[in-house]
Amino acid sequence: MSETQTPVQGTTAAPGEPGAQELAGRYSRSMIGVFGTPQRVLVRGEGTRVWDADGKEYLDLLGGIAVNALGHAHPDVVAAMTKQAGTLVHVSNFFATPTQIELAERLLQLAAAPEGSGVFFTNSGTESNEAAFKIARRTGRPRILALENSFHGRTMGALALTHKEAYRVPFEPLPGGVEFLPAGDIAALEAALAPGDVAALVLEPIQGEAGVLPLPEGYLRAARELTARHGALLILDEVQTGVGRTGEWFAHQRTGGVVPDVMTLAKGLGGGFPIGAVLTFGEHATGLLSPGQHGTTFGGNPLGAAVSLAVLGTIAEDDLLGNVRTLGGRLQAQVSELAGRDARITGVRGAGLLQGITLAAPIAPQVVAAALEAGFILNAANPTTLRLAPPLIITGEELDSFVEALPALLDRAEQAAADTTDEKRS
């Protein structure tokens, strides 16, 4: 906690301000219930901390699901947003703005994109993947390959690329032509590509929603070689893994020499402001969409572009990539050591500050609930995996505090699971 932060755990809402119970009631009466009941009503954030409507403080180990790259209320983000809001916020894509152009150039430079590459700005990850889907369709080839356990978004095109049936089935029929392959099976990939009619292979370098599952060693390089050989696009969904999350600007850069044809971004790109991007590498991929074939009203607006430039600039200036690599290794080492002493923890996987802690029993939701009560925000990617994706500015001491608390959180989670079982039996 910084010197400017004052611990307020245990306090209540300020006089005249609505409390959590009142706000939760208003939420349930006014919102469509697609997100279920909110775990808390949050009212303020600073750095790696947030506070709820009753004044309780939490260490944010989820970062808005890998979104808040610089934490909350970062002065560089606030300054960029305030300055740009005083000049131009939105002008439509009939016009260009200096911030939009500068951001596109910066992204191409960070991605080491070759001459003839380009950027299309969106507002979210699913919208970025929709655009990538349309780029694949423009190849004229009928088939698109994705991976089992994939997650690419909730809109209809992105959902067609998403493997989980619970997400897909209620909205079928979805756009067709998508086939799912087992991640890591190079022989299956080669067989699927062999007929020569595959438009694209779409994959995440680390499958975040599936439980922080890195692609098996060698698979990404093989995917690049095979798609190039058979004339298919390699589309990398870096919505969750991009913008420094793994200790490189983009996760595929951890596999030296792999350059995709298309890359999709969002989440950390705006540090909390909604902005996404699609990068096309080389003239062939860049030329697949012609004027009038795609668009968006708000994509690349000057306010979002200014904020994104501030995020990228701060990551570079403060060497946050180095911080991510150091702390990611430290966290993995500490959790592995703890797993050697506590059989309830079976391992840890991921890269940088996208980590999944695996459990022996399916009690991850109960651990998340216990952690929230103890002042930690994380989530259960699946019943046996805890996902951590904290702000890139987090400190080693803050991560240490969670690792030290984890055995007690597991105790409480086991008791909660046992209580639930007893209630069902009775």
Which residues are known to be catalytic? 151, 237, 267
Chain centroid offset of residue 305 CA: 19
Are the beta carbons of 162 and 153 closer than 8 angstroms? yes
Tokens found for residue 92: 């439509």
d(CA 413, CA 363): 7
Q: Detail the residues annotated as belonging to a binding site for pyridoxal 5'-phosphate.
A: 125-126, 151, 237-240, 297
Amino acid at 224: R
Amino acid at 164: K
Q: Compute φ and ψ for 49, nearest 5 degrees.
A: -115, 150
Amino acid at 280: T
Backbone angle region of 141, left / alpha / beta, with phi > 0 → left and psi within -120 to 50 → alpha = beta
Using alpha carbons only, give the angle 367, 368, 371 rounded to the nearest 5 degrees: 85
DSSP letter for each residue of 250-294: SGGGGSTT---SEEEE-GGGGBTB--EEEEE-HHHHHTTSPTTS-
Q: Compute φ and ψ for 357, nearest 5 degrees.
A: -95, 120
CA neighbor of 27 nearest in space, from 9, 8, 52, 49: 52
